[in-house]
Structure 1
Amino acid sequence: MDECHHGAAQTVEDVIGAAKARYVYGLTATPKREDGLEKKVFMQFGPIRFRYTAKERAQKQGIAHYVYPRFTRLVSPIDLKITEANRGSIFDMNTYETVYEKDLLEANKDIVISSPGLNQSKVNAFIRLIKQRQESGVKLTIVTLDPEGYPEEKIEDTRLLVRLLRDNAINVHLKEHMHEHFAIIDDEIVWYGSMNLLSRAKADDNLMRVKNKEAAIELFEITFG
């Protein structure tokens, strides 16, 4: 089954249960689900037998890869102003942290982070890191999934993390559904990709960094309307 991360759905469960095949294989680029229901997927298909990341594929192909950001509105390529410096700014879980934290610590006005997931260690580290910028007047906003939408065993822990952020004077905007992973610093520096910036990163997660006000405006429109 392709896109087998949908195996947590009742319809898929019924179909797989009715299949008479001796072996059932699943393919997916996203075995980890934001709602925590990947356990049901593993019950349907068994454990992961083989991984092949986009980074490994790119290395094997030997072809340079460049990412040019596009969101929902049509933006002139001239207005986007992607420079040579921006064009190569692609990071993975092992390379982004130093540059990302430097951007956070140099913020002068505001920081907006959209991270569907939260975990204790990342939230605590963020609060410690950003304390000095807060004291200098930088406004912080976190967009994340409403804890009430989590699996029952994760609801209370996520509520406590939301409360911890708010207790540290961070504005938290809860959403019932969301998929965007990004950070916007001073309405101009944009980090965008597949990584939960306040939760666990995965080996195949990537982030791009661009300095572009138009891209920031588009993400604000997607997130806040």
Structure 2
Amino acid sequence: MMQHLKIVLENKVRVIVITRPIGDFKDKNTSALQGALDLLKVAGVSLVFKSNIHQKYAVIDQRIVWYGSINLLSFGSAEERSCGLIAQTLLTN
């Protein structure tokens, strides 16, 4: 996936990942998570950390929203649900 992110970042697309801080995860997961976050940061992805979140959504071009139980940054065999919305304008919050 990093090769795809690098292409869009080279084309001046702004990518922001909002996730929980490292301290919010179990110790056994922190090493792998820190490695992934470091890769994203070096590639030019903006990272925002917020505690107590579990929402999964993607905002594209400030008007398309994908929202649901789908894990947008992973590949698994679990059944997932998502919904796509297109809006004329979205709030910036």
Matched, 1:137 2:12: yes
> What is the CA-CA distance between 1:200 and the residue it aligns to?
4.3
Partner of 2:33: 158
Superposed CA RMSD? 1.7
Moved over 4 A (4+): none
Q: Aligned letter for 1:197?
A: L
Matched, 1:178 2:56: no
Matched, 1:190 2:90: no
Distance of 1:141 and 1:154 partners within structure 2: 22
Deviations along 1:104-135, one digit per CA (max 9) or x if unpaired, are: xxxxxxxxxxxxxxxxxxxxx1x211322211
How does the TM-score come out when normalised to structure 1? 0.38
> What is the CA-CA distance between 1:203 and the residue it aligns to?
2.4
More helix as a share of residues? 1
Note closer, same or farther for the CA distance 1:201–1:162 as it changes in structure 2 (3 Å cut).
same
Distance of 2:76 and 2:18 partners within structure 1: 17
Distance of 1:204 and 1:180 partners within structure 2: 17
Partner of 2:80: 205
More strand as a share of residues? 2
Gaps of 5+ in 1: 1-124
Sequence identity percentage = 24
* Structure number with bigger Rg: 1
Note closer, same or farther for the CA distance 1:148–1:170 as it changes in structure 2 (3 Å cut).
same
Q: Aligned letter for 1:184?
A: V
Number of residue-to-residue matches in the alignment = 93
Matched, 1:147 2:22: yes
Distance of 1:200 and 1:176 partners within structure 2: 24
How does the TM-score come out when normalised to structure 2? 0.86
Matches within 5 A, 1:21-170: 125=1, 127-170=2-45
Deviations along 1:84-118, one digit per CA (max 9) or x if unpaired, are: xxxxxxxxxxxxxxxxxxxxxxxxxxxxxxxxxxx
Gaps of 5+ in 2: none
